[in-house]
Amino acid sequence: MIRIVLTSVFVQDQERALDFYTRTLGFVLKHDLPLGEARWLTVVSSDGPDDVELLLEPNANPAARVYQNALYEQGIPAASFGVDSVSQEFQRLKALGVRFVADPVQVAPEIWAAVLDDTCGNLIQIAGPA
């Protein structure tokens, strides 16, 4: 059986990304290891420390920057995170000053989504029930 254990988003600044993903979104730091000029920096859901790790990967590679910028400019989320209630999470994050580029909208029967700016070069979708 194959399963996802790690996925990544390119970020412009690892320290700023760590702050946003932990303090604002509520993820928990899993690994912070030196890796040359960068760090192997992963976060996980606070509900599941053994869940899939999200690598906050520096966009130092020119191809990564082009890819990240193209997704952002086209309004395509780099990742999608599940939430228990899109409307509640939307209100919580708005109160924290998070900028949303798309307010909650129904995308499928009983599935709602909203898109936020992670301040590190990405659009991130939150999805779940209304």
Residue extents of the structural domains in the chain: 6-128
Please determine, for residue 48, whether its predicted confidence score (pLDDT) is greater than 90: no
89-110 tens-digit pLDDT: 999 999 999 999 999 999 999 9
Please determine, for residue 50, whether its predicted confidence score (pLDDT) is greater than 90: no
> Maximum Cα–Cα distance for the chain, whole Å?
46
The structure's pTM equals 0.94
Q: Which long-range contacts (CB under 8 A, 24 or more apart) does 62-69 make?
A: 64/10, 65/10, 67/10, 68/10, 68/12, 68/121, 68/122, 69/121
Binning pLDDT at 50, 70 and 90, where does residue 54 land?
Answer: very high
- Read off the pLDDT of each residue in 101-129 and give the average, rounded to a whole number: 97
Range of lowest pLDDT (46-55, 79-88, 106-115)? 46-55
Please determine, for residue 69, whether its predicted confidence score (pLDDT) is greater than 80: yes
* Strand blocks (E) in the chain: 6-11, 28-35, 38-44, 53-58, 79-82, 100-108, 111-117, 123-128
Task: State how far the Cα of 85 lies from the Cα of 98, in Å rounded to an integer.
Answer: 17
CATH architecture group of domain 6-128: Roll (3.10)
For 46, which DSSP code? T
How many CB atoms lie under 10 A from the CB of residue 99?
10
CA nearest neighbour of 2 among 52, 41, 70: 52
Binning pLDDT at 50, 70 and 90, where does residue 2 land?
Answer: very high
Tokens 């912070």 correspond to 32
Please determine, for residue 81, whether its predicted confidence score (pLDDT) is greater than 90: yes
CB environment 28-63: b (16+ within 10 A), e (fewer): eebeeeeeeeebbbbbbbeeeeeeebbbbbbbeeee
